Amino acid sequence: MKVEFIRKDFGSVSADLLVVPCFKAKIPAWVHAELVKAGVGKDFIGEKGRYYLLPVKGKPYKRLMLIGLGKEKNVGLDDFRLAAAKAIRGAKGPRLANVAFLLDFNGATRHSEKDVAAAMVEGALLSDLKLEPYKKKKEGGRKIEKLLLVSKMDLASMVEEGRILAESQNYARLVAVEPANIMTPRKLAGVARELAKAYGFGFRVMGRSELEKKGMAGILAVSRGSVQEPVLVELKFNDGKKLPHVVLVGKGITFDSGGISIKPSKGMEMMKFDKCGAVVVLGVMRAAAEMKFPLRITALLPATENMPGGSASKPGDIIRMYNGKTVEIVNTDAEGRMILGDALAYANEAKPELIIDAATLTGAMMVVLGKQGIGMLGTDHGAMKEMYDCGLETNERVWELPLWKEYSEMVKGDYADLKNVGSESGEAGTITAAAFLREFVGSTPWVHLDIASVEWNDGSSGYFCRGPSGKGVRLLATFLKKWSKNKKK
């Protein structure tokens, strides 16, 4: 879908459909006049979630769609995203190819019209994506070719920002949906190489032999049961420039069977999505390049499969990680923290101002926050406060969990420096996983995002279809934009 902003009066907009968001009991007079003309003056008052489609005559737009937002005082930015999604889906039924959104609220909304413009673009584009790459017969109606955003104000920059964020998130979703037989660790490295070529990133991939030379035993231990070669991918944006430096680390388990500590068969097909941390980081890198962030960003993507086999790591094995700490592998299904540990220790060597990692790390997140939020832990409380605010803005919400010293005691090993699970009963599983990771970041400020419970939608809801959500892309990109501005002050 092509997105375009035009600054003009809506009355001269040529489109198949003009969409007008309306607050409850605050219907614009000209809209009410159209309803009265059609003989349905009392049928629509702007109730939240309701839309009304009207044919019109003598106008450059062929139809009028009214989208209810509810009472203005209760309307958040995400309600605009949801309204845009409803409009796009509603437009596909009548097969309307060119859709225009009217963004003139005459000061009625408590949100800036710039933020509303970005949110509506995001909702439209995120809802337009269908994750059906291998279906012969595609579902859904005709594709919408063009989305026009119309206002008397100059909203072009925020329309463009909304487009970049949504398209970067959709990019991540398309990579994430690929199955494990296609999206192997090497293939994921190839995707990163293509992104690097498109945006001029520095690119490097370390294969098994280099990982062995460097002593990245965490990544190697997880990979031992698989025929697929493990990799550590490194991307660099604005490399060499004198700019604030942040390192993003994304967990890239392209398939997780659990290894010797094998998972139950039910739902195991979902484990192709254990690469979503790495995929989210790729989406953020795309957004950073398109939005030209004044930052130096390094992305590290440790990627491997976790499979059982004759050479697989076994419970009780002890290995020496990249930073020299020894780890007893108590449970081979606690593999994400092993590959992240090596990558975080490697990131720490660069001495960046901040390290952020994103990972589908613990099933315990579903217990902690359900599907509504991302678990956040770390050592940089200023960055975490900013991340929290960005989560509210993007509706990719985060909640900080504690990292008290008792949790670090729980991952101390009996036969090695550390053990890779805090408790076999699962006590404080999300927190002890983060406590394990903290052992590898040194004194560098660090934020950990456990995205395990938010990266998959069981069915179509809001502005997402069934499948991977890409949540974390808009959150992190918005955070980095604001963090870079704060660094300038």
pLDDT (0 to 100) of residue 315 = 98
Q: Strand, coil or helix: what is 63?
A: strand
What's the token pair of residue 276?
A: 């979503």
Identified catalytic residue from 263, 314, 371, 487: 263
Q: What angle do CA 267, 268, 272 make, to 5 degrees?
A: 115
C-alpha 361/C-alpha 337 separation (Å) is 7
Give the pLDDT of the chain (489 residues) as one tens digit per residue.
999 999 988 888 899 999 999 999 989 999 999 999 999 988 999 999 898 999 888 899 999 999 999 999 999 999 999 999 999 999 987 878 999 999 987 656 788 899 999 999 999 999 999 998 898 876 655 789 999 999 999 999 999 999 999 999 999 999 999 999 999 999 999 999 999 999 999 999 999 999 999 999 999 999 999 999 999 999 999 999 999 999 999 999 999 999 999 999 999 999 999 999 999 999 999 999 999 999 999 999 999 999 999 999 999 999 999 999 999 999 999 999 999 999 999 999 999 999 999 999 999 999 999 999 999 999 999 999 999 999 999 999 999 999 999 999 999 999 999 999 998 788 999 999 999 999 999 999 999 999 999 999 887 778 999 999 999 999 999 999 999 988 876
C-alpha 424/C-alpha 411 separation (Å) is 11
pLDDT (0 to 100) of residue 139 = 63
What's the token pair of residue 418?
A: 């550390």
pLDDT (0 to 100) of residue 466 = 93
pLDDT (0 to 100) of residue 141 = 57
C-alpha 334/C-alpha 268 separation (Å) is 15
C-alpha 463/C-alpha 83 separation (Å) is 9
DSSP state of 272: G
| DSSP state string for 273-284 | GGGHHHHHHHHH
pLDDT (0 to 100) of residue 275 = 98
Assign 3-class secondary structure to 19-38.
EEEEECCCCCHHHHHHHHHC
What's the token pair of residue 191?
A: 């995707």
Identified catalytic residue from 63, 163, 236, 337: 337
Catalytic, 263? Answer yes
Nearest alpha carbon to residue 8 among 120, 194, 155, 139: 155
Domains (range + CATH), the chain: 2-154 (3.40.220.10), 168-488 (3.40.630.10)
C-alpha 24/C-alpha 59 separation (Å) is 25
What's the token pair of residue 310?
A: 């004759």
pLDDT (0 to 100) of residue 386 = 98
The angle that helices 77-92 and 113-128 make with each other, rounded to 10 degrees, is 40
User: Which residue in the block uniquely carries the two structure tokens 């005082």?
Assistant: 73
pLDDT (0 to 100) of residue 489 = 63
